[in-house]
Structure formats: structure tokens, C-alpha cells
Structure 1
Amino acid sequence: MLPVLYRLESAWQPDGGPFGRFTFSLFNLSGGPLSAFRLVYTSLTRVIEGAACENAVFLRRNANFHEFAPPEGLTLAHGEHWTFTVNGLHREAKHCTDGAKSAYLTLADGSHVPVAVSDLRLEGAVSELPPVRLPKGRLELPFALQPWPAEIDAAPGEAVPDVLYPAAESNADEVDAVSNVLALFHRLFSAGHAPFSLAPSPQGLPIVFKKKAELEGEAYRLAFSDREIRLDYGAAAGRQYALTTLAQLIDGARNHGGDFRFPASGEIADRPRYGWRGCHLDVSRQFYPTADIVRLIDILAWFKLNIFHWHLTDDEAWRLEIKAYPTLTTLGVMRGPDEPMLPQLGNGAEPVGGFYSHADVKAIVAHAAALSIEVVPEIDIPGHSTAALVALPELSDGQEAPESYHSVQGYPNNALNPAIPLTYEFLEKVFDEMVELFPSRYIHVGGDEVADGSWLASPLARKLMEQEGISGTFALQSYFLKKVKQMLTARGRKLVGWNEVAHGGGVGTEGTLLMAWENPKVGIELAREGYDVVMTPGQAYYLDMAQADAWQEPGASWAGTAAPAHTYAYEAEGEFPEELKSRMKGVQACIWSEHFLSRGYFNRLVFPRLPAIAEAAWTPKDKKDWLRFAAIAPLSPIL
């Protein structure tokens, strides 16, 4: 572990500006004097009025990157500190994670040295501790099941079978299925006692498999007795879910016998509430190694989720190897002081990169498929494209004034230009490679948060708008996305996008699936327009949202806060008119990674809300029970 040579302490005060002010103190702990330097920090609470600072010179900002210089001639001796304030913020700070996420110094010789940062302190108000996220819980039936099944009528027993094993008449596919779920269990609970054996055991119970034509593909039935367990299934997915249920039951009874039992008799008849039971992961803001992606997919399988929505590109990085454009994963992933893109969201003095090769993707897709999970890839276009434009500057209109518009995250001129023919050539080649890598029926193309005013300073875009009779940014976005939809249709794929795809005239509703994220009512409006909808509102299903208003609760809160109880209770189809409910295809958790700088923050924010959403996706509304969920949720595997 390297010693800390410099540390940046920060506090937010509610006074001193329309959105309060930051006070920063840089401490020199290096053992020698510090002079002729510049300080960089990254923060989601951005400075928009550079002149509104005291005892420092604001030099520049790019999205979350901020650079300051000290007063001329300042020298810090060992143990001394430099303090400055910043008033011109774009919003209030509300949580301890709203301050500097990383920092470094640039010295006179051009070298960069790391600066340790601390969580943001609150001054001038009470800094409350986070509340307890889960109550003690209560069980009416002592079974450790996540999500809770559609129907259960079973009596708990006192004994726990040592193992469950496939009956002698089981076919090869059924034995393989047992082995597959056994391997899943071992990966998630490496020290756990195996719930299954492929060989028979006198201390165990046989599983008698039967494929039933009347059961839907993801449905199953379990019947328990002291002689055997009968497992009826509709297709491979239903068989897997049944075996996962058995693994959960036996593990809970064996390792938490004070609370949970294994059924001695009775039945479970189970099927999912929704066909789309998704979890999204943003790997652009922070890079997750392949091993982490594989483990997350394992966790999704444990909770019977069936969609992994892989957000592969954004302003911060393009993470998917495209052999036709190698600079996407050289120039388009590197962030650092001297790299093609500046540090953002926790990056410091050391450059960072990371991408997924074709081989990585194929391995991940195959792993997911073996667990009945469909991988839906996303490249976020036309907005959120800074990384692509850095990697391929020829995709920009060279006549367009720099910083003629900014995205909501502060990135200048970050949208692919619909008036440049190379844009479509680029996307054709990208989609050609994607359909070879991803067998999913769907490709997600983003379509969100294009800044109003985008492209209006581009002479090429203005000319195209005049030729096509288009007025305004969103009509031009619609023109662009209609062409994208044609590309996907020609490749046998359906377009998925965020709800803004419907702006400016949208795209054809046939074969289009949109995700309602801005608020729940958007989903109903989209359904009225004829779109199929997945509900993923930030107010309940965005797992980067803080779980309480308390200052010391990490996360974002632009959509409010989402305590686990709120996430669990939220009913996505609650306000859908009856005639529109067929348009609602399911629900999805979204993991946006701006705040996930550590494994600890990831697990604290994602769990127990991810299993809460899994239960909303699977369990009928009248079978949900918050206190029962609270009793079982602590058994969840984590990343």
C-alpha cells in the first residue's frame, strides 16, 4: 500500500451561493514543499460559474473533470494546507458521495501524482446517519425462497435431506440441468454444502423429472414427499428455475435452520409474472472485469431474472471491441491526465481503460444462455457518444462550433450527427459485428438525453433539416432513429430504446420496445402510442439512487430516494388502464455506475433492492409480503 502524500478534504455548506458552496482543503503530507502545481478533482456536483470561487483560479471543466490553480506563488510546507471555496455549483449536494470522487496534482514538470480524497462532509446542518434498510422480518411459511413462488401449499418438515439427486430414469439433459444448477450454487456460495449430487445417496431424495406439455416454458411444479420430489417442467428454463428453488430451500434449511425448513409434503406451482425480468449494468462509467459480469449473471439466475441488459457505450468509454474500428477500444476507452479522454467519475493520476473483446463477449453470452438469460447489448446513440467521437473524429461536422451544446451531464457536442453519411456507414459495420456476437432478438440503441439544441450549429445538419423539412433537434433525432431501425430490421433484430426514442415523431411501433425510465406515467403514454414497454422508473428501480435522504447515505437522488421498502412495494402496472396492460412486457432494475467506486458501494446500493425487483418481476401482486421478504433477503448472494 502506497503512503498518502496529499489529501483533499471537502465540505459542503448550504449557504454561500444559490446551491451552497464547497470548501476544499489540500493537505501536503509528502515530507517536502509543494509549489507550482494544479489540482484536478472529479465530481458529479459540477462547477458552472468558474469565477465564483475564492483563493483559487478556476482553469477548466469537462463534464465531471475540474481543474484549479492555487494563488500565484503559493508554497505548502509539509503539514500545511491550502483552502479554497467554490460557490457556482449547478445543484445542491445532498449526500456524502456528492463531492470529489478522486483527485490528483499536476506538477511543474508535467507529472501527475495521486491525491487521496475523503467523503464530503456536511457543515451548517445535521449530518444524519442512514436508517436501517430492512426490518427484522416475519415468516408465515419458513421457506427460503427468492423470489416467492406464485403458489405454494407445503408443510415444513423437521429433517433436511443431505442431498437431492436425479432419479435413475432421468435423461441426460435432466442430469445436465442438475449439474448446471449445482455449479451455479458452488460459484455463488463457495463454502456452502452442495444441495445436489449426480450420484444417488441413501441420505438424500431422488428428483423425478417429467416434461409437461401443458406447462409454459418458464413454469414448473414441485411435489414433496418423504420418498421423492416430483419435478414437472415446461421447458429447460422452467426446469432450471425448479432446481434453483430446490437449492434455495435446502440451503436455507441447512444453514439457517433456526428460521427455515425444507418441505416435508405439499406442492409448489410456479410461473413468472412477467416475460421481461431484467437487470441493466452500465460498464462505461466504471469498467467491470469479465469475472464480475459472470458473477452478476449468476446472481440474476439465482433470482430467476432472464434479461441482462449490457450498457456497453456512453460518453465515458466505448467498451465493445469492433474490429472494423479498432480505435473505439484504444482511444475510446482510455481516460487519464494525458489520455484521449480526461479523467471522470473517480479516475485519478493513473490512466484507466478496459473493454470486452469478441472472445470475452462470446464467453459471457454463452454463460448467460446456459442459465436461461438473454444478453441484450446497448450502444447508446445518437447522444452519449463522446467516446465514439474521440475515437473517430471524422464523425463530427468540422464546421460546427465547439461546445455549441452540452448534455445534461456536461459533455459538449456529444451526439452523433445524423447529417454525416459516415455515421450510417459506421453504424452498419457496428451492427454487423453485434449480430454475430449477440444472438438476442433485441439491440438497445439508447436514444436518451439528446440535448435540445444538438446539431443546430452544424451547417451539415441545418442543410439536411432544410432538405427534409425537419424542424428542431428531436425531429432530426427521429429521422436518425428511423434509419437505425431499418438497419436493425434488415438484420432480423428489434429496436429497444429509452423512452425518448418516441420524441420528435419517434419510430414505428411495430417491433419496437421502449423502456420508461423518467417516471411511471411515461410508460402509460408510450403504451397509448402503441409501443411495447418495459418499466424501469428511476424513482423505484434505479439502483444508484440513495436509499434515504440522510446525508451519509451514498448514491444519487435526482429521482428522489428509493428505500428497499419502496422498491419492493412499487407496482409497475398499478396505474396502467386495463386495455393497455398487454403492452407492459415487464420490469427491469438499472445499475448506473457513477457512484460505484468500490465493491462495498456496489453491494450496499444493489442489495437488497435487486432481489426486491426480482420478486416484483416474478411474484403475483397478492403474494408479495414485505416482512417475509425482509426475513429472507439477508440470504442473498452479493457481488
Structure 2
Amino acid sequence: MSSTAASRWDGLLPRPVSVEPRPGVFPLGERTTMDGPPKVVEWLRRRLGTTTGLALPPHRAPDVGFRIDSGAVPGPEGYRMEITESGVTVTAHDEPGAHYAAQTLRQLLGADALRQAPVSGEWWVPRGTVTDHPRFSWRGCHLDVARHFLPKREVLRFVDLLAAHKLNVLHLHLTDDQGWRVEVPRYPKLTEVGGWRHRSMVGRGATDTYDDRPHGGHYTGADLAEIVSYAAEHHVTVVPEVDVPGHSQAAIAAYPWLGNHPDRRLPVWDRWGVSEHVLNAEPATVDFFLAVLDRILELFPAPVVCVGGDEVPATEWEDSPRARRRAAELGLDEPRALHGWFLRQVIEHLHSRGRRAMGWDEILDAGGHLPPGTIVASWQGERGGERAARAGHDAVMCPEQSVYLDHRQSDHPDEPIPVGFLRTLTDVYEYEPVPAGLSDEAAAHVLGAQAQVWTEHLDSPRRVDYATFPRLCAFAEVMWSERTHRDVTDFERRLNTHHLPRLDALGVEYRPPDGPHPWQTRPGAAGRPR
């Protein structure tokens, strides 16, 4: 076997469970055919046909080609792929497993197989066998489109990048103080008013600085249906988030009666941080958001919907005679208990519709009983996830100290808008989603983890690329590969030698290993390191 063929097996990312290389290669050509599950085969035929210029028609004996069959392989989403001199045979546990086999095949074809048009005349894959399956069922990435809107084409591209790394959840943060991004026909002002702001804060210096440039955008129902359908083709589940009862200033700007001062007209917020303007707890406001969630359920078939629940200041409720009366009417001890009461209304509504609610870990302390089936997203560290798992609730680990990809990547003086914790590529790779000390029973409630891409300081797709990659590549291997199969030195070798050329082929403007390019810096935009 040539050293080039051997290196292709050696460069897979995420690292598979097992690889058995053999001498020789299988060449793709005009006689190469393709058969298997229609959705997977059509997806791969479209991708490889565009890249190679080959037709890859259905199988006709005695042709050789790529065939996918169902069969017994370890674990959901698992597959076994054998490449011989006569073709490629995949045995997949299920359709997602077949799709991940197809993603592995793209890597084995070389970086140019990830381009949008042919740049090579020869296509081959090394002979051998790979057996693979993921460690976690929830391998997610959160994308904030509320702070800075991303056009639909960029969300579709982001789905491509998640799927290429065998990630399977896109948590789409659709609403916040700074913008409302989902069209709700019953309430058009949510996007007409709440969908844009007059200006945006730049950086997080000692003195507030603004760009004085209007910013906005939203997705129509058709846009979101397209995103969901496209993601489903890639076996990515889109989990929508509508954040309540805090982080709601954009909604209150659109409909002032949702707030605690209905006579006061608020703008869509132009600052970063936590707004003190929260929803009131009147029946009409609850009904408003139940109707919004019903629209979300129409658009998103995901089994899980995130209701936020994080960072909810009680100041307005405590200062408002109306809120104090409402708390007393509901039999609550104090106005701040409206936080938990409001969340229970929306969570129980989702559960009555056959979906599961997810909320940030503040929902554990919002007061009252957390409805069974609620998923806790542990962002303030790992303690919330541990508490949830020990109490029998499922948890998704997303601690800001470890997997917030908007946080700075180095102490390099040119690092653009250096905010948050310092988390290098190596730091992300060494993250362990299951906290030490959990019993086996509790650990089974850790569904997986989720990298977070918040966009206060990521105002363009190029900035999103820079913050996200290649750290998301490290996170993807953490989520897919068993801990005993991970080695940071080997990962960095595979990344630098094999995977960065793949990102180049995909057009990803990642952060170079030795620091930002000059055009990736942001001189004059102050940060706030932690």
C-alpha cells in the first residue's frame, strides 16, 4: 500500500472506533455505480457527482461500486465499511449510520472531494475496513442568530459543516433582547419591529462603543421549513429556541403590553448583556407565547424545543404593583417566583403537544417542580447537569468554561474582541462531557454535549468561521470517539496534515494554528477577558 493510501486511513476525523487498512486502492470511474437507502444514496450521488463529474448510476451487474445494506453493527448510527478491489460495501445500523459512512467515504477520497466542482481527474479510496459508531446521541452545536442575523444560505452552509463532522443537533437561538428572527403570522410586529435594531454595540470595552448601523433580518416560515428539510437530509435535528421570560426585550418592543410597563415604549436592545426588561405574567402574555410556540411546533418537527429560562432579573416584578398582585393571586411567596411559574406554563404546554422542553440550568432554581421529561442544558459549569442527572432529568452539557466557542482562543495580542475564558484547541479537545463521580445510573442521563456559538461579537459569517473552527473539529471528536481512543497529539497531527485542507476545500475561514491573519483581527474593538 502506498504511503498516500495509508495516510488517508490515518487522517480520518473524528477518529473511528477501528480501522484495518489493506494494500491497494479502489478507483472510481465511469463504471462506478451506487445503491442503497434512497435518501442517503441520492445525497451522496449529488455530492460526489458534483465533485467528481461521475454519473454514479444505480448498480448493474457486473459493475463495481458503492453499496449500502442494513445489518447488525454496534450501536445506533453505527456502520461498517469494507473497501475492496471491486467496490465499497457498507453495512449500516440505520439511515444515519449510512450517512456517516458516506461522510467517511468523502474524507477517504481526499480533500478535493469536498469542493463544489471537479478539480481532479483521478478518484480513488484506499482498501480496508472501518467500523464506527458515536459515543453520544446528542452531538450538538448552538448557533445564535438573534444577536447577529445570519442569512439563510449561511445557516444551510453551517448545517453542511456540522454534518461533515458527524454532529447531529443544530440548536438555533431565534429570539433575544437584540432581535426576533422567526416569522409568526399571527403577530407580525415580532419581525416588523422586533426583527431589527437601530445600532449595535462594538466590543466590550470600559466605555460603550456603537457602530450606528441598523441591523436585522428574519426567517420566513418557508425559510425555516427549508432549513429543517435540508438539515434532515444531513441527519441533523434543528432544535429551536424561544427564550422566556427573560431575554425578551425585542418581543416587548414589538408589543409593549407584554412587558411590565405597557405605557413605556422600549427599543430593540442595542447592548450586550442581560436586560432587566422581562415579560409580565398576565394570562394574555402566557397565551401569546403559547400561540408562538404552537407556530414553532408547526415549523420544527424536532422532539425537543428550548424555552430558555436563563438570566431572568426579578427587578421589574419586585417593583411592579401589578406583578406583586399577580404573584399573590397565584399563591406565590414572592414576585421572583413568577420565573418558575411562567416556565411551567410553557413547558407543560409543549409536553401536552408531545414534545420535550429544554431549558438552561437556571430552570433548576426557578422555583417549584420541574416537569418530568424536561432536559437541562448545563451552561454555568457542570453542576447544573450533575444535579439534573442525579435527580433523574436528562442533561446536555454545555459549560461556558469549556465549550463556548465565542470565547477567546489565545492570549495573542491580535486576537479579535477577546472575551470570556481562554479556551484553546487543546482545551476543547480535552473536555470530558460526563462529570467525574456520577453513578452509572446518573451518567446515563447525560445525553451528550453542545458547543455554543454566541454572536454578540461575531457580526459576519467570516467571524463565525474564525471563532468556530477548528475548535469545533476538536469538539466533534470528543463527542464521537470514546475517551480511550482520543489522543491530543495525534488529533493535532491529523488536523494540521489532513483536516485543515478539508476546511480549505469547504471554504471555511478558520483561525490558523499560529494566530489570526491580518484581516481576521479587529483593531480598536475592545474585549473583556475573564
Larger Rg: 1
TM-score between the two structures when normalised by the length of structure 1:
0.69
Q: Which residue of 1 aligns with 2:126?
A: 263
1:393 to 250, 256, 259: 256
Q: Which residue of 2 aligns with 1:351?
A: 214
Q: Which residue of 1 aligns with 2:403?
A: 541
Q: Which residue of 1 aligns with 2:516?
A: none
Q: Which residue of 1 aligns with 2:16?
A: 149
**In the alignment, is the contact (CA less than 8 A) between 2:197 and 2:270 conserved in 1?**
no
1:571 to 412, 426, 432: 432
The whole-number CA distance in structure 2 between the counterparts of 1:140 and 1:625 is 17
The whole-number CA distance in structure 2 between the counterparts of 1:467 and 1:407 is 35
How far residue 271 of structure 1 moved from its aligned partner, in angstroms, is: 0.9
CA deviations 1:46-95 (Å, max 9, x no partner) are xxxxxxxxxxxxxxxxxxxxxxxxxxxxxxxxxxxxxxxxxxxxxxxxxx
The whole-number CA distance in structure 1 between the counterparts of 2:65 and 2:278 is 58
**In the alignment, is the contact (CA less than 8 A) between 1:402 and 1:412 conserved in 2?**
no
The whole-number CA distance in structure 1 between the counterparts of 2:113 and 2:339 is 56
**In the alignment, is the contact (CA less than 8 A) between 1:152 and 1:268 conserved in 2?**
yes
The whole-number CA distance in structure 2 between the counterparts of 1:393 and 1:445 is 21
Q: Which residue of 2 aligns with 1:293?
A: 155
In the alignment of these two chains, the number of paired residues is: 481
Q: Which residue of 2 aligns with 1:552?
A: 414
How far residue 465 of structure 1 moved from its aligned partner, in angstroms, is: 2.3
1:610 to 442, 457, 472: 472
The whole-number CA distance in structure 2 between the counterparts of 1:510 and 1:619 is 30
1:528 to 385, 390, 405: 390
CA deviations 1:541-570 (Å, max 9, x no partner) are 111010112332124433x11101110111
The whole-number CA distance in structure 2 between the counterparts of 1:165 and 1:617 is 34
**In the alignment, is the contact (CA less than 8 A) between 2:318 and 2:336 conserved in 1?**
no
Secondary structure of the 2:351 match is helix
1:229 to 70, 76, 88: 88
Secondary structure of the 2:109 match is helix
1:498 to 350, 360, 364: 360
**In the alignment, is the contact (CA less than 8 A) between 1:535 and 1:572 conserved in 2?**
yes
Secondary structure of the 1:505 match is coil
Q: Is residue 279 of structure 1 aligned with residue 141 of structure 2?
A: yes
How far residue 143 of structure 1 moved from its aligned partner, in angstroms, is: 3.3
Please tell me the residue identity of whatever aligns with 1:224. I
The verdict on how the C-alpha distance between 1:472 and 1:511 changes in structure 2, with shifts beyond 3 A counting, is: same
How far residue 140 of structure 1 moved from its aligned partner, in angstroms, is: 8.0
**In the alignment, is the contact (CA less than 8 A) between 1:157 and 1:263 conserved in 2?**
yes
Q: Is residue 209 of structure 1 aligned with residue 76 of structure 2?
A: no
2:313 to 442, 446, 451: 451
Unmatched 5+ stretches in structure 1? 1-138, 337-341
The whole-number CA distance in structure 2 between the counterparts of 1:551 and 1:599 is 23
**In the alignment, is the contact (CA less than 8 A) between 1:536 and 1:589 conserved in 2?**
yes
Q: Which residue of 1 aligns with 2:104?
A: 245
Please tell me the residue identity of whatever aligns with 1:155. R
**In the alignment, is the contact (CA less than 8 A) between 1:280 and 1:589 conserved in 2?**
yes
Q: Which residue of 2 aligns with 1:373?
A: 236
Aligned runs of 1:184-195 on 2, under 5 Å? Answer: 184=47, 192-193=51-52
The whole-number CA distance in structure 2 between the counterparts of 1:315 and 1:194 is 47
The verdict on how the C-alpha distance between 1:623 and 1:555 changes in structure 2, with shifts beyond 3 A counting, is: farther
Aligned runs of 1:409-488 on 2, under 5 Å? Answer: 409-410=272-273, 412-418=275-281, 420-472=282-334, 474-488=336-350
Percent identity over the alignment?
A: 32
Please tell me the residue identity of whatever aligns with 1:460. R
The whole-number CA distance in structure 2 between the counterparts of 1:399 and 1:297 is 40
**In the alignment, is the contact (CA less than 8 A) between 1:143 and 1:261 conserved in 2?**
no
How far residue 476 of structure 1 moved from its aligned partner, in angstroms, is: 2.1
The whole-number CA distance in structure 1 between the counterparts of 2:212 and 2:174 is 24
Secondary structure of the 2:315 match is coil
How far residue 574 of structure 1 moved from its aligned partner, in angstroms, is: 4.2
**In the alignment, is the contact (CA less than 8 A) between 2:73 and 2:79 conserved in 1?**
no
**In the alignment, is the contact (CA less than 8 A) between 2:327 and 2:335 conserved in 1?**
no
CA deviations 1:428-462 (Å, max 9, x no partner) are 21011111111111110011111253411111211
The verdict on how the C-alpha distance between 1:185 and 1:356 changes in structure 2, with shifts beyond 3 A counting, is: farther
The whole-number CA distance in structure 1 between the counterparts of 2:192 and 2:180 is 9
TM-score between the two structures when normalised by the length of structure 2:
0.83
How far residue 154 of structure 1 moved from its aligned partner, in angstroms, is: 2.2
The whole-number CA distance in structure 2 between the counterparts of 1:590 and 1:184 is 28
The whole-number CA distance in structure 2 between the counterparts of 1:195 and 1:458 is 68
Unmatched 5+ stretches in structure 2? 1-5, 204-209, 510-530
**In the alignment, is the contact (CA less than 8 A) between 1:163 and 1:194 conserved in 2?**
no
The verdict on how the C-alpha distance between 1:412 and 1:622 changes in structure 2, with shifts beyond 3 A counting, is: closer
Q: Which residue of 1 aligns with 2:44?
A: 181
The whole-number CA distance in structure 1 between the counterparts of 2:458 and 2:276 is 26
**In the alignment, is the contact (CA less than 8 A) between 1:211 and 1:235 conserved in 2?**
yes
Q: Is residue 364 of structure 1 aligned with residue 227 of structure 2?
A: yes
Secondary structure of the 2:216 match is coil
Please tell me the residue identity of whatever aligns with 1:282. D
**In the alignment, is the contact (CA less than 8 A) between 2:356 and 2:374 conserved in 1?**
yes
The whole-number CA distance in structure 1 between the counterparts of 2:467 and 2:181 is 23
The whole-number CA distance in structure 1 between the counterparts of 2:262 and 2:40 is 59
**In the alignment, is the contact (CA less than 8 A) between 2:183 and 2:191 conserved in 1?**
yes
Q: Which residue of 1 aligns with 2:528?
A: none
CA deviations 1:292-326 (Å, max 9, x no partner) are 00010111111111111110000000100001100
Secondary structure of the 1:268 match is strand
The verdict on how the C-alpha distance between 1:565 and 1:184 changes in structure 2, with shifts beyond 3 A counting, is: farther
The verdict on how the C-alpha distance between 1:284 and 1:427 changes in structure 2, with shifts beyond 3 A counting, is: same
**In the alignment, is the contact (CA less than 8 A) between 1:305 and 1:373 conserved in 2?**
yes
**In the alignment, is the contact (CA less than 8 A) between 1:516 and 1:523 conserved in 2?**
yes
Aligned runs of 1:75-154 on 2, under 5 Å? Answer: 142-154=9-21
Cα RMSD of the aligned pairs, angstroms, is 3.2
How far residue 185 of structure 1 moved from its aligned partner, in angstroms, is: 5.9
